[in-house]
Amino acid sequence: MNAPLWQSWDSEFVWHPYTQMQLVPDAVPVERAEGSYLYLSDGRKIFDGISSWWVTLHGHAQPRIAAAIGAQAAKMEQVIFAGFTHEPAATLAKRLVERMPRGLAKLFLSDNGSTAVEVALKMSLQYWQLRGETRTTFLALEDAYHGDTFGAMAASARSAFTAAFDPLLFDVVRLPFPAPPFAGNDYSDAEHRFLNDLGRHCKLSKPAAFIFEPLLLGAGGMRMWRAEVLREAVTIAREAGVLTIADEVLTGFGRTGTFVACEQAGVSPDMMTLSKGITGGFLPLGATLCTREIFDAFLSDDRKKTFFHGHSYTGNPISCAAAVASLDVFDSEPVFDRIAAIGAVHSERMRPLAAKLGYASRMLGTVAVMEPNNAEGYLSMNSLDLSKRALAEGLLIRPLGDTIYFLPPYSTRAEDMHMAYDVLERLLTTTSF
């Protein structure tokens, strides 16, 4: 089949995200998507091994969500959300709060993961001001990734992603990553260091908040940390009067095996950020949840004490209707059985494959990761080469440097997942990576 005419328009007019346009000048033309597969203009079928940048949840073009979007678009596409409201937003707020760890009581909407983080950072700073305290710094993890806007970049690790902007990013106190022990249940040195530093800085630096990706650091290398350490960290911060912000933009909506990752640690943070899978992966939407105590601190007769934040599309009814439809899927279909079935194939295939190659491996919920011991960072050319060869074999992966991972949609059946492992195994055992 010939390349479609619009492909040449893309080459001529479009600048793609996170793409060195000289090395990867031609984007792959996708005609349609269904379940766990993308269908390309040349007729090929590609397994989406990374849920299209971690957003696709129940599957591409999931019919119930598609129908809800169509119905809402025909009824009301958008309305100002300052002083006005509508059923999809109110329903989403009620149903999300009901599913969240107890204590998270109010929902503030924005457009994407980065804006959900910006809202949390700004809300926590203003909260302390309203309480009459000056707190102007944050605690954040080494290797963290919280987004691409300036506040979210500041909270993220300094890396190739932020290098061009570093001089303008505000400082945060960086805590060492709590890498788990290789074996056994005792705390590792890294976990001790993390908890000690956290305790020290909560007192010394008087931070506004500690922001973290619970259990799974995404773009920072799909690194995993333990629920018991998370539980202890939240306790330490809370006892020191420091707010906690759980960034569940990636981990929310079942990715790690529970509805949100915080559940596994039995913790309820003061704030939580959500995006990506919130609409089932159909439309952009960001959400920041907070406690009633934080919300109440902003209540005043003085208009200067307003939380001055909002985006043109805040609370977009179509995005909210998609999110409600995705919650309906959670309520009426065996979503967690699907998640467990994907995890079972990961356990069966990822560890033996990694062992065969002499790689390290780790798993959590629907996410499986492996990397060589001498893994190179994000800019490793190996990742481009492997992605290209995988695509030629019908598999979409996007390694983070030498770190290879699967994070598939929940529509993925065991046979799809096995096929993806067969391809990966063939690629990695026939060529050195």
119 vs 354, beta carbon nearer ligand PMP: 119
Q: Is 296 a catalytic residue?
A: no
Q: Is 305 a catalytic residue?
A: no
Q: How many CA atoms lie within 13 A of 174 on its CB side?
A: 13
Determine which residue in the list 51, 56, 275, 383 makes contact with ligand PMP, applying CB under 6 A: 275
Task: Give least dist CB 8 to ligand PMP, A.
Answer: 28
Judge contact between 423 and 393, C-beta under 8 A. Answer: yes
Rounded to 5°, angle at Cα 82 from 77 and 83 = 100
Marked catalytic residue, from 143, 148, 276, 402? 276
Marked catalytic residue, from 247, 270, 402, 416? 247
140 vs 370, beta carbon nearer ligand PMP: 140
117 vs 427, beta carbon nearer ligand PMP: 117
Distance between start and end Cα atoms, the chain: 32
**CB neighbours of 106 closer than 8 A, spacing ≥ 6?**
93, 97, 289, 290, 291, 292, 294, 295
234 vs 272, beta carbon nearer ligand PMP: 272
List of E strands, 165-242: 173-175, 209-212, 216-217, 223-224
Judge contact between 15 and 6, C-beta under 8 A. Answer: no
At 105, the amino acid letter reads A
Q: Is 113 in the site for ligand PMP (CB under 6 A)?
A: yes
At 382, the amino acid letter reads N
Q: Is 114 in the site for ligand PMP (CB under 6 A)?
A: yes
Task: Give least dist CB 212 to ligand PMP, A.
Answer: 9
Determine which residue in the list 145, 225, 330, 406 makes contact with ligand PMP, applying CB under 6 A: 145
Restricting to residues 232-271, which ones interact with ligand PMP according to CB under 6 A? 247, 249-250
Instruction: Give the rounded distance of the alpha carbon of 212 from its chain centre.
Output: 12
Distance CA 264, CA 258 (A): 7
- 6: tokens are 């619009």
Q: Is 212 in the site for ligand PMP (CB under 6 A)?
A: no
Q: Is 37 a catalytic residue?
A: no
Q: Is 218 in the site for ligand PMP (CB under 6 A)?
A: yes
φ, ψ for residue 187, nearest 5 deg? -65, 140
Chain contacts with ligand PMP (rule: CB under 6 A) = 112-114, 117, 145-147, 213, 218-219, 247, 249-250, 275
Any idea which residues carry the catalytic annotation? 18, 145, 247, 276
